[in-house]
Amino acid sequence: MSRVLCANCQRPQKACICSFIANIANELHVVVLQHPTEVSQTKGTIALLAKSLNSCQVFVGEDFSEDDCFLQVMKHYQPILLYPGEHARTLTASGMSQLDELSQRFEAQEGKVRRTCLVVLDGTWKKAYRMYKLSKNLQQLPQVCLPDYLANSGQYHIRKVAKKNALSSLEASCYALALLEEGSSSFDITPENAGKYQPLLNKFQKFNQFQLSFRPDY
């Protein structure tokens, strides 16, 4: 029996995510690097993010050192990596000035002016670490991470989370974008107020409830 797929999200009608999609004009281009095993694991979370942001690309792989698509991104943008590595700079409410600083540092190295883009790794901590270790080009990028009050605010109920500091990639991307794009405006970014990204976070909460309803034990 063939399953009828939604023409927009390409998912079975019963699991269609279209009612959870927000329409957000993000200023910073977003590139999600998705671990191959996450494609079936994330239950449409990255699809929801990609369909909600007006400027977003998703590449699947583990080692991006030689990945043509990602190398093109590296050429056309100034990527900054959202990753809580040793040298990551914690984003604060005055996000934009930090972004300028990061960009300038990168420009000085490269001698070119390019639009900044945010690179997000989608995978468990272990898998993200592996992607980072394998992809030497990722290690060269300026790194940013979320402040604790946001990093620990996740509402991701579907998968078991090993660590306290474990947001979904969708939430992490929204908070990072909010801090980087709107951090210097008149309000503070909080888990309840992520500026123009809040509608997507609200829909994501409903999306999680929707996903839970598919569980036999729910």
Q: Give residues in contact with Zn ion (CB under 5 A).
A: 6, 8-9, 16, 18
Q: For residue 3, give the 3-state DSSP assignment.
A: coil
Give the shortest CB-56-to-Zn ion separation in angstroms.
17
Long-range pairs, 160-169, Cβ under 8 A, ≥24: 162/124, 162/125, 163/125, 165/84, 166/125, 168/42, 168/45, 168/204, 169/32, 169/42, 169/45, 169/46, 169/49, 169/120, 169/121, 169/122
- Judged by beta carbon, residue 2 or residue 186, the one nearer Zn ion is 2
Give the shortest CB-202-to-Zn ion separation in angstroms.
19
- Judged by beta carbon, residue 6 or residue 93, the one nearer Zn ion is 6
Give the shortest CB-15-to-Zn ion separation in angstroms.
8
- Judged by beta carbon, residue 18 or residue 39, the one nearer Zn ion is 18
- Judged by beta carbon, residue 56 or residue 91, the one nearer Zn ion is 56
- Under a CB-based contact definition with an 8 Å cutoff, are residues 91 and 144 in contact? yes
- Under a CB-based contact definition with an 8 Å cutoff, are residues 103 and 116 in contact? yes
Give the shortest CB-13-to-Zn ion separation in angstroms.
8
